[in-house]
Structure formats: C-alpha cells, structure tokens
Structure 1
Amino acid sequence: MLARLQQILTLGALTGVVIWLWVCLQQGRPGWALFGALALLGGHAFVLGIEFLLLAAVHGADPTPRARAAQLLGAWWGEVLHAPRVFCWRQPFRHAAYPDHLPTNAQGRRGVLLVHGYVCNRGLWNRWLQRLRQQGVPVVAVTMEPPFGSIDAGVAAIEAGMRRLEACTGLAPVIVGHSMGGLALRRWWAEHGDDARVHHAVTIGTPHQGTWLARWGTTPNAREMRRHSPWLAALASHEPAGRHRRFTCFYSHCDNIVFPAATATLPGADNRHLPGVAHVHMVDHPAPWQAVQALLQAPKAR
C-alpha cells in the first residue's frame, strides 16, 4: 500500500518536471525551466530546513548538548541527499529487492528482526538486508500495514516475523527498530512479554517519550507519538521493571523528526548519542550496524 503511494508520488513529480521543462522551453524561457525543475525536485530540502529550524528552536533545557550551526547544516544536507534514496527509490521500487534470509542450516545462529518506522516499509533496510545476507545471518524485515493506522496494528507483523526467526534459528533474535518501529517493538514486547524471546533491542531515533513534531500529525499513529500521549503512558505502564536495560537507544541532537533529542532515550537503557546525524540518515550510520554486529558475536547463553 505505502509502496504504491510512494510510486505514484515519485512518478507524478518526475512527470511534472518533464511537463514544466517542455512548456518553458517551448516558450523560450530556460531560466524558468531550470527554476521550476529545481523547485519540484528539491522542494523537500525546504521542508527539511523548516524541521531543522524547529528542532533548534525547541531544544530548551534538553540535557543533550545543543547542536552547532555547522552540525545542523551538515545534517540537513545529508538528509537532503539521503531522503530521496529512501522515499523515492528503496521503498517504492526496491522494497522486495532483498527477501528475508532464513537458511535451512541456521539452527543455533542468532538472527535479526528489522522493524521500520512511520511512512516507511521494509525497503528502508535494504543495505542492512544485503549485508546481513552476505554474512549468512538469518534476517526478517517486516512491513507494517496499514501505514497510517495505530501503532498497535504492527504487533501482528512483528509476532509473525519473530515466529519465523525462532523456527529457523532456535534462538532469541536481536530486534532493531527505527523511529516508530522502536515503539512498535516495545508494544509487541509488552503484549508478548516473555523476555527469553528477545536477545536485545536496538532502537534508532525512536520517540520513546514522544516528539514535539507529532503535535501536527493527524493520523492515529502520529497522535500516539505526541509528547505525554495516553498511548505512550499506557505502554510504559505495561512494561516490567528493568525492561529498559535490554535496550540500546541511538539518538541525535540533529534528529529533525524526534526532538528534543533526549525524547529518543529510555531511562536505564544504553543510550548512545550520534552527533550531527539526521533522522533517516541514522539508519545507515555505522554505529547502529556495529552495535548489532557486536550483539550477534556475543557468546550464546547455555
């Protein structure tokens, strides 16, 4: 569903650029042709710029060090380049390019479950899927549908992915969630609360304590990610004491979606700050990948 929507939006934008260029060049206006094409293709840069201005403005008393202007500018540019790769290529056209890897000889080898975030699908994880497959690591990447429903709707997809990994490996997997995916995995874990089923959870830019930006969201899952939302309070009330020690949370003072920055941390978790990295770009930052590699190489309990 989401892939089809993003296909339509991407192809529609490209069609608009071609029509604009043709009309302007027919009228002998090359300057307008160039300006319009850049506006259509680079309009997301303007939207991202607003997000970065907002995150700088609402930093307030957040304990995370305030990002310098150069860091914000670098993170903005990184996101300008990275976002189209994800939302206009990987997710709409390449979401099935790397299937789940469940080899028949994987018993006793720890697997990985990948959970995407808001307005995303499994194509977000293409680089991870490719590299994990090359390493022979059993891996499943879920797609949670519907894309604009409650976060609770993702529980079934996570449970199905977990069962496939458990049957394949016989071991509890590492679960990695980006953005809203971290909340979905917490919701799944609260409902299917056997701690033995999860080796460790890694979240990347997850609004564990909500995000200021969600106040503008109107979909059910966006409203659930607002600061101090009833959904977040209910989730926290269903988690046992000590659960957060099983989490590694990556967050950034340049996260243009989840801010103030410390809202992406959990008390008692291994919270790791990634300076100067924006929200989507964090998925391909080497630090989360290296953390998961270390977890996969850790000795297995008897």
Structure 2
Amino acid sequence: MVAWALRIVVGLGLMLALFWPLHALRAGLGPLATWGPPLLVLLLHPLVLLTEGVLAALLHRDDPLPRPGPVARLRAWRAESRCSRRLFLLEQMLREHRWPDRPVPLSQAAGRRGVLLVHGLLCSRAVWNDWQPWLQARGVAVIAPSLEPPFVSIDAHADRIDAAIRHLAETTGRPPLLVAHSMGGLVLRAWRRSRLAAGERPEEVDARVGPVVTIGSPHRGTWLATLGALLPNVRQMRRGSRWLTALAQSESAAWRERLVCVRSDCDTIVFPPAGARLDGAGQDLLLPGRGHLDMLQDPRLHRLVQELLDAP
C-alpha cells in the first residue's frame, strides 16, 4: 500500500514538473510562475526535512542532551535527505519484496536467535533492505512484515506481530530478537499489552522474546505528532497522550529492563530527543548527529545487534 501511494505521489509530481512549464509558456506566464512550481516539487522533500530540523532545534529546549550546533544539524539534514530519498524513492517504492522473509529451517539456524524487524509509520518492510543481506548471510531467520493498513490504531498490528514471534520461535527453538524503528517500538510494546489482555501471564509473555531494540521510537511521544490530529496512530504518539500513559502503566520493570533504546540528538521526527528514551530501559544508546532514518545505517547500531545475536 505504501509502495503504491509513493508511486502515485511521485507520478503526479513528475507530471507537474514536466507539463506545467509547457502550459505556462503557452499562456505567456513569467519565469517565476513557469519554473517555480516544478522547482518546488523537486525540492519539496529536502525542504520538508529542513523544516522538521528547524522545529527540532527550536523545541530542543531543556532536553538533557546537549543542543547540537548548526553545523551538526546541517550535516544530519544532508545525510537524512540522501538516506530517506533512497529508502522512499527506490527501496520502498520499487523494492518492497527484494528480500523475502527467510525463516530458515531449525537444522540451519543451529540455535541462533531469529530476528523480527518492525518498521514505523509511513514505511514498509523495505526500510530493512540494507539489513537483510548481512543477517541472512549469517544464517539468521528473519521476518520483516509490512504493517498495513498504515493509518490505524497501533494496537491493530498486535496479532500479526504475535504470529511472527511464534513462527520465529518455532523455527529456531529460541526467543527472537526484536528490532523496531520509530512507531515500530510502540507496536512491540502494544503487542505485549495485548497478550496480557488475552490472559497470558507477564513472565510467560516476556519469556517468549529476547532483547528488544527500539530505534528512534517515541516512547514518550513526539511534538511532531501534534500535527496529525486526524490519524489515530499519530494521535497515540502525542506527548502525554492517554494511550501512551496507559501503555506505560501496563509494563513491569522486568520487561523494560530488556529494552535497548537507540536515539539521536538530531532526530527530526521524534523530538525533543528525550521522547525516544524509556524510563527503566536496560540500555540507552546515543547516536549523535544521525537523522531519524539515517540511524539505521550507523555501524554502532549494527554492532549492537550483532552482539545481541551472538550473546548466549
């Protein structure tokens, strides 16, 4: 669904960029009216990211992390623009199923943990296309579902997550490692709450999974969600939302201890940066100068995941 939406939006943008100048020239419009709209279409993506970066800088306020300087933010904006352009316009739009799920047989998995990769809002399984080759090359069982439809309650994905966790556990004989980006971290926390609501005991649910790595997840909400009042999952990610409060109240200290919260001081989606930190989490990994999607490319994050996979 996300892939088709991107194709439609990009197709309309290209049509405007190509045909508007012809119309404007025939109508005798001036240079600004002729070339302004196509130029705006071509620059819209980096301009949106730049606006988000300015908002993040203005709303950093008294966040415990030191405020990044203008040079650091500009570098993060440039890297994020390049990374997100590739992930959206190439991987997600054209290569969603480039790397099919690979739940290898138990004999091949040799007791190694499987990995469940969970994407965030307005994304699909294709955001993990850079992760799939090195995980699969090590014989790791990988499942990366596309969570659809995109604009529903975060709780609506719990059953799909539960099925993937069960399948990985049956395939490998071990509780899987869970890795989630952005809203995906809340999806995993909502999955646990759904199992408690179904009558499972907390210790039984916790034992079904290994470590949980969340990357730029708005555990405390994000200011940017204030702009998405019409979308149910965006409303849930508002700072101080009743949904986030109820989710936190359902969790135990033992569950939070297994979480690793990865965040950045230059995240332009989850800001202020403290929004990506969860009280009681077992580990807090800071990736300075990285954008929201660009964090997925950081070698320190890859090393962390590798260490968790190799741990006994």
The two structures have a TM-score, normalised by structure 1, of 0.93
1:263 is displaced (CA, Å) by: 1.1
Cα distance in 1 for residues equivalent to 2:311 and 2:264: 26
Q: Do structure 1's residue 88 and structure 2's residue 89 form an aligned pair? A: yes
Could you tell me which amino acid in structure 2 is paired with residue 109 of structure 1? R
Mapping of 1:194-273 within 5 angstroms?
194-218=205-229, 219-269=231-281, 270-273=283-286
After superposition, what is the alpha-carbon deviation per residue over 1:102-123, rounded to whole angstroms, capped at 9, x for unaligned? 1222251211100000111101
After superposition, what is the alpha-carbon deviation per residue over 1:117-162, rounded to whole angstroms, capped at 9, x for unaligned? 0111101111111221122211000111210110001111211211
Aligned counterpart, 2:80: 79
Aligned counterpart, 1:61: 62
Identity between Structure 1 and Structure 2 (%): 44
After superposition, what is the alpha-carbon deviation per residue over 1:42-97, rounded to whole angstroms, capped at 9, x for unaligned? 21111111111111111111101111111111111111212121222211211111
Structure 2 gap segments, 5+ residues each: 196-201
After superposition, what is the alpha-carbon deviation per residue over 1:189-214, rounded to whole angstroms, capped at 9, x for unaligned? 23334111111000100000001111
Do the aligned partners of residues 3 and 243 (structure 1) sit closer, same or farther apart at CA in structure 2, a change above 3 Å counting?
A: same
8 Å contact 2:253–2:280 — kept in the other structure? no
1:27 is displaced (CA, Å) by: 8.7
Cα distance in 1 for residues equivalent to 2:27 and 2:299: 49
Do the aligned partners of residues 12 and 110 (structure 1) sit closer, same or farther apart at CA in structure 2, a change above 3 Å counting?
A: same
Aligned counterpart, 2:168: 165
1:296 is displaced (CA, Å) by: 0.6
Do the aligned partners of residues 31 and 126 (structure 1) sit closer, same or farther apart at CA in structure 2, a change above 3 Å counting?
A: farther
Name the stretch that deviates more: 259-268 or 219-228.
259-268
Computed over aligned residues only, the root mean square deviation of the Cα atoms, in angstroms, reads 2.0
What is the SS of the residue equivalent to 2:178?
strand
Cα distance in 2 for residues equivalent to 1:49 and 1:101: 37
8 Å contact 2:165–2:209 — kept in the other structure? no
Cα distance in 1 for residues equivalent to 2:39 and 2:135: 37
Name the stretch that deviates more: 238-247 or 204-213.
238-247
Could you tell me which amino acid in structure 2 is paired with residue 79 of structure 1? E
8 Å contact 2:53–2:77 — kept in the other structure? yes
Could you tell me which amino acid in structure 1 is paired with residue 192 of structure 2? W
What is the SS of the residue equivalent to 1:209?
coil
Aligned counterpart, 1:16: 16
1:36 is displaced (CA, Å) by: 4.5
Do the aligned partners of residues 30 and 127 (structure 1) sit closer, same or farther apart at CA in structure 2, a change above 3 Å counting?
A: farther
1:268 is displaced (CA, Å) by: 2.3
Structure 1 gap segments, 5+ residues each: none
Cα distance in 2 for residues equivalent to 1:37 and 1:47: 16
What is the SS of the residue equivalent to 1:108?
coil
Cα distance in 1 for residues equivalent to 2:155 and 2:221: 16
The two structures have a TM-score, normalised by structure 2, of 0.90
Could you tell me which amino acid in structure 2 is paired with residue 284 of structure 1? Q
What is the SS of the residue equivalent to 1:242?
helix
